Amino acid sequence: MHQLNHKNVLTQNRTVEKVRASTPLTIISDESLLATFDEIELLREQIQSWHSLAKLQNSRLEVLEQELYYTNQELCNAFMFQKKSFTEVIQLAKAILASGKSASECLAELIVSVYGFPVKLEDLQPSP
């Protein structure tokens, strides 16, 4: 078995020698090597810069998405009154008026029912 290993090593050495003989050596000057290292460093800096820019843009996008979400929520809330049909509002108004409350109280209750916003009775008093 020891001979097989020795034989394998000799075969590998011959193969390596053949590859070395067929591959021409390329000599790189120190200046060329330094220039290559400088270029690699510059490329790394550019990559880092692009990553930073991408993070910044993603942050801005997240802020805009959040603003859009809240604006959409506000718009939906503002138009909630449209969930009731005109016929439903008329029926509601009749029921509120039949309760015998004052006109201001009836109007306040109707506004709250239709728009979902609380109304103070003094807000419904005529302006002087």
What would the pLDDT profile of 15-32 be if each residue is shown by its tens digit?
656 656 666 667 778 888
Task: Give yes or no for residue 63 having a pLDDT over 60.
Answer: yes
Q: pLDDT-derived band of residue 6, with 50, 70 and 90 as boundaries?
A: low
Residues 89 and 114: beta-carbon distance below 8 Å:
yes
Q: Are residues 72 and 86 in the same domain?
A: no
Q: What is the extent of the structural domain holding 58?
A: 32-78
Average pLDDT, the chain: 81
Percent of the chain with pLDDT over 90: 31
Lowest-confidence region among 28-37, 62-71, 72-81, 118-127: 72-81
Q: Tell me what pLDDT residue 104 has.
A: 85
Q: Are residues 54 and 91 in the same domain?
A: no
- Mean pLDDT for the stretch of residues 2-21: 60
Number of domains the chain contains: 2
Q: Give the separation between CA 63 and CA 16, rounded to whole angstroms.
A: 60
Q: Are residues 94 and 126 in the same domain?
A: yes
Q: Are residues 45 and 88 in the same domain?
A: no
Q: Which long-range contacts (CB under 8 A, 24 or more apart) does 34-42 make?
A: none
Tens-place pLDDT, residues 85-122? 788 888 988 998 898 888 888 888 888 888 777 888 88
Per the domain annotation, does 99 fall within a domain?
yes
Task: Give yes or no for residue 5 having a pLDDT over 70.
Answer: no
Task: Give yes or no for residue 126 having a pLDDT over 80.
Answer: no
Q: Are residues 64 and 86 in the same domain?
A: no
Q: Tell me what pLDDT residue 121 has.
A: 82
Residues 111 and 96: beta-carbon distance below 8 Å:
no
Per the domain annotation, does 1 fall within a domain?
no
Q: Are residues 98 and 67 in the same domain?
A: no
Query: What Cα–Cα distance (Å) separates residue 121 from each residue in 19, 99, 107, 113, 124?
Result: 98, 17, 9, 15, 5
